[in-house]
Amino acid sequence: MSGIWIFGYGSLIWRPAMAFRTSRVARLAGWTRRFWQGSHDHRGLPHAPGRVVTLVAAPQASCDGLAYLVDRDVVETVFRNLDHREKNGYERHAVRLTFRDGGVVDAIVYIAAVGNHAWLGPAGDEEMVRQICQAAGPSGANIDYLNDLAAALRDLEIKDPHVFRLESMARAFMARQEGGDGHTIRQASSKL
């Protein structure tokens, strides 16, 4: 095929915003999805970053997502747009994917490496949930990112205990906030 595969494991799953020929569910071995990357430009602000996913090396793990086949005649434009979208600490990496329905292919994935300028790293689940529920930026509330990712994974029948645990905890956190003052943190943060 005359094209390049690009692997999406976060917002690219539900909002690819690029021209592609086809998409397929694929698995990347040796990596796991974690809400350890700061978002100062999309789902948070420089003084109050949100949390978004990156991939963290984990030899016994794997990460499922969507692989997009991009035609060579538009790949330069696609990469220019993705480089801008993923500018807050992400870099391109060449990887090998296995498709859910069989087959192996080389692909490009954007990973925010440990120690990049926006790296937040691991934290307790409650701390991450609080930050996600309170952060908002130019692309919207951070909680919407979490909920959209969880919904997209479910639609694709992809299991991710980390994402689903944070989603469940965030739902409980938001319910407590709504009960306390009559409006949600999400509504308040969307006015930032």
Residue among 76, 86, 127, 167 flagged as catalytic: 86
For the question of residue 86 being annotated catalytic, the response is: yes
E strand residue ranges, the chain: 3-8, 22-39, 50-71, 90-99, 104-112, 136-137, 140-141
What does the alpha-carbon distance between residue 4 and residue 106 come to, in Å, rounded to a whole number? 8
Q: Are strands 104-112 and 3-8 parallel, antiparallel or unpaired?
A: parallel
Count of C-beta atoms within a 10 Å radius of residue 73 = 10
What does the alpha-carbon distance between residue 99 and residue 58 come to, in Å, rounded to a whole number? 19
Q: Which residues are catalytic?
A: 86
